[in-house]
C-alpha cells in the first residue's frame, strides 16, 4: 500500500496535513540523539518507556521523546505519516504487525541485521515474533514484548459485595454482571472508542473458538464473517453493551481500568497493558484484582507484539544509535524491567520468571500451551492480523454496532464488506 494510500487511509486533508506538519516537525535531532515516536502515555506505559530511555541514555545516547497520546496508537500513526511525508521521519517509531510490511513497502525502514545477527535474534525469538519483525527477510524492527488481549480484569471486592462468582463462561459472566448491576455498581468498565470496542468484539469472537476466530478475523473468509457463529458473536456483544455505563463514549482505556481499581466497576475486557495500571497503583494480583481469561477463552490466546521500527537515516551516528537502541530492546535487562511495568511478558523465553507475578506467569504458560494447541491467534484489534485498511473498516462497523440499534444480521453483512477493503 503506497504511502499516499496509507495517508489517505487516515483521511488527512491537505490543509490538515499542513497544520499537522507545522506541529510535527521538530528541530533536527542532533548526533548521538534518537527521536522515538510512541503512544505509551498512561501511568503504567510511561513508567515502562522511562526504563528504555534510562538504558539508552546510560549508553551515551540522548532520548528525544516523541510521545503522542491515544490508546492503540491511531493519533501516533497520523503524526508519523505526516513526518514521513515531509521527508523527516523520527529515528524510530512504535510500529507493529502487518503495518511493518506496509511501511517496508514504502522503502523507508532501516535494515538492522547488524544488531539482530550478532544478537542471535533468529535463535532467541519464537518464529511468530521474528517473522513479524522482518521485511523481505531483513530485520527492520526490534520486538518489545508480548501482550495477551483476551483478559477479563476483575475487582474481587466488587464481586464479593455483589455476591457474585469469578466468571469463566458467558452464563457465569452475565450472572455476575446482573448481580453487580443489582448492587448498584457498573458491571463492565469500558471506553467507547473504536479500538476498545474492537477489543471486546474480537474477544467474544475468540470465545467461539480459535478456529472460527482465525477463519473470520485472520483469513477473512466470507462464510465465517457472515455465518451463524458471527451472528452469535454480535448477539453476545449486544448483551454486553447493556452492562456498560452511559458515560463510556470517548473514555480512555486507562480511565476505565481506574474504575475497576477504585471499585466503581466490577470488570473490564482489556489487554494486559491494563495490568500495568494496577501495578502502577500498587495493586497486587489475586488480592486487589484478578486477571482471568475472558469467558470461554481460557484455552486460547490473542497476542499483540509491540515493536519499535527503525527509519532510514543519512547520518551515520543515527544509524549507530539505532543499533544501540535495537540491542538495548532485546537485552534481558530491558526485557525484564520493561515488561514488569508494562503488564506484558518478554519476547525472549530465556528471561528469568522470578520477578514476574501470577498474571504474567499465567500468560507465559497459556501462550506456550496455546501455541502447542494451535489456538494462538494474532489480535485483529491491535494490528497483528489484517491490513490497516481492513482493520479501520472493521472498526467502523463494530463501533457503529456498539452505538446504534444495528442488528447482528446487518453487522455481519457490513463486516464482510469491510473485510474486502483494499
Those residues with Cβ within 8 angstroms of residue 173's Cβ, 6 or more apart along the chain or in another chain: 152, 167, 267, 295
Instruction: Name the pairing type of β-strands 307-310 and 151-154.
Output: unpaired
Q: Could you say whether residue 71 binds ligand GAL (CB under 6 A)?
A: yes
Q: Nearer to ligand GAL by C-beta: 158 or 198? A: 198
Q: Nearer to ligand GAL by C-beta: 151 or 253? A: 253
When CB distances to ligand GAL are compared, the closest residue is 71
Q: Could you say whether residue 382 binds ligand GAL (CB under 6 A)?
A: yes
Q: Could you say whether residue 40 binds ligand GAL (CB under 6 A)?
A: yes
Q: Nearer to ligand GAL by C-beta: 68 or 224? A: 68
Number of residues this chain uses to bind ligand GAL (CB under 6 A): 12
Q: Could you say whether residue 202 binds ligand GAL (CB under 6 A)?
A: no
Among positions 121, 212, 273, 278, the unique one binding ligand GAL when judged by CB under 6 A: 273
Q: How far is CA 183 from CA 157, 187, 189, 244, 289, in A?
A: 12, 9, 15, 15, 19
Among positions 9, 24, 45, 212, the unique one binding ligand GAL when judged by CB under 6 A: 45
Q: How far is CA 333 from CA 55, 146, 339, in A?
A: 9, 16, 10
Residue 21 — φ and ψ, nearest 5°? -60, -35
Q: Could you say whether residue 304 binds ligand GAL (CB under 6 A)?
A: yes
Closest separation in Å from C-beta 285 to ligand GAL: 19
Q: Nearer to ligand GAL by C-beta: 70 or 263? A: 70
Q: Could you say whether residue 306 binds ligand GAL (CB under 6 A)?
A: yes
Closest separation in Å from C-beta 389 to ligand GAL: 17
Closest separation in Å from C-beta 64 to ligand GAL: 20
Q: Nearer to ligand GAL by C-beta: 73 or 104? A: 73
Q: Nearer to ligand GAL by C-beta: 38 or 179? A: 38
**Residues binding ligand GAL (CB under 6 A):** 39-40, 45, 71-73, 147, 253, 273, 304, 306, 382
Amino acid at each position: 500500500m503506497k504511502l499516499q494510500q496509507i495517508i489517505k487511509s487516515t483521511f488527512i486533508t491537505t490543509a490538515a496535513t499542513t497544520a499537522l506538519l507545522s506541529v510535527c516537525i521538530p528541530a533536527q535531532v542532533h548526533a548521538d540523539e534518537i527521536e522515538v515516536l510512541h503512544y505509551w502515555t498512561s501511568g503504567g506505559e510511561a513508567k515502562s518507556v522511562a526504563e528504555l530511555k534510562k538504558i539508552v541514555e546510560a549508553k551515551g545516547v540522548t532520548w528525544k521523546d516523541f510521545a503522542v497520546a491515544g490508546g492503540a496508537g491511531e493519533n501516533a500513526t497520523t503524526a508519523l505519516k505526516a513526518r514521513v511525508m515531509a521527508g523527516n521521519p523520527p529515528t524510530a517509531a512504535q510500529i507493529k504487525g502487518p503495518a511493518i510490511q506496509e511501511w517496508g513497502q514504502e522503502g523507508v525502514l532501516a535494515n538492522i541485521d547488524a544488531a539482530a545477527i550478532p544478537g542471535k535474534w533468529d535463535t532467541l525469538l519464537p518464529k511468530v515474533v521474528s517473522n513479524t519483525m522482518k521485511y523481505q527477510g531483513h530485520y527492520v524492527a526490534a520486538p518489545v514484548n508480548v501482550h495477551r488481549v483476551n483478559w477479563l480484569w476483575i475487582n474481587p471486592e466488587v464481586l464479593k459485595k455483589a455476591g457474585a462468582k469469578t466468571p469463566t463462561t458467558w452464563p457465569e459472566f452475565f450472572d455476575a454482571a446482573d448481580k453487580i448491576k443489582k448492587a448498584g455498581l457498573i458491571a463492565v468498565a469500558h471506553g467507547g472508542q473504536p479500538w476498545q470496542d474492537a477489543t471486546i468484539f474480537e474477544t467474544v469472537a475468540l470465545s467461539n473458538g480459535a478456529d472460527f476466530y482465525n477463519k473470520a478475523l485472520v483469513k477473512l473468509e466470507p462464510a465465517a464473517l457472515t455465518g451463524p457463529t458471527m451472528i452469535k458473536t454480535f448477539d453476545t456483544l449486544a448483551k454486553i453493551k447493556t452492562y456498560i455505563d452511559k458515560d463510556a463514549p470517548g473514555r480512555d482505556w486507562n480511565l476505565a481500568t481506574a474504575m475497576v481499581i477504585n471499585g466503581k466497576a466490577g470488570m473490564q475486557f482489556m489487554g494486559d497493558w491494563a495490568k500495568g495500571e494496577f501495578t502502577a497503583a500498587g495493586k497486587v494480583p489475586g488480592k486487589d484484582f484478578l486477571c482471568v481469561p475472558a469467558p470461554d477463552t481460557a484455552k486460547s490466546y490473542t497476542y499483540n507484539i509491540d515493536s519499535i521500527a527503525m527509519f532510514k537515516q543519512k547520518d551515520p551516528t543515527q544509524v549507530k544509535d539505532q543499533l544501540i537502541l535495537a540491542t538495548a530492546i532485546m537485552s534481558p535487562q530491558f526485557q525484564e524491567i520493561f515488561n514488569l511495568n508494562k503488564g506484558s511478558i518478554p519476547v525472549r523465553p530465556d528471561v528469568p520468571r522470578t520477578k514476574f507475578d501470577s498474571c504474567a506467569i499465567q500468560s507465559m504458560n497459556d501462550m506456550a500451551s496455546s501455541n502447542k494447541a494451535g489456538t494462538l491467534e494474532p489480535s485483529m484489534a491491535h494490528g497483528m492480523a489484517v491490513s490497516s485498511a481492513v482493520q479501520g473498516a472493521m472498526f467502523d462497523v463494530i463501533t457503529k454496532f456498539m452505538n446504534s440499534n444495528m442488528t447482528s444480521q446487518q453487522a455481519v453483512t457490513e463486516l464482510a464488506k469491510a473485510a474486502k477493503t483494499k
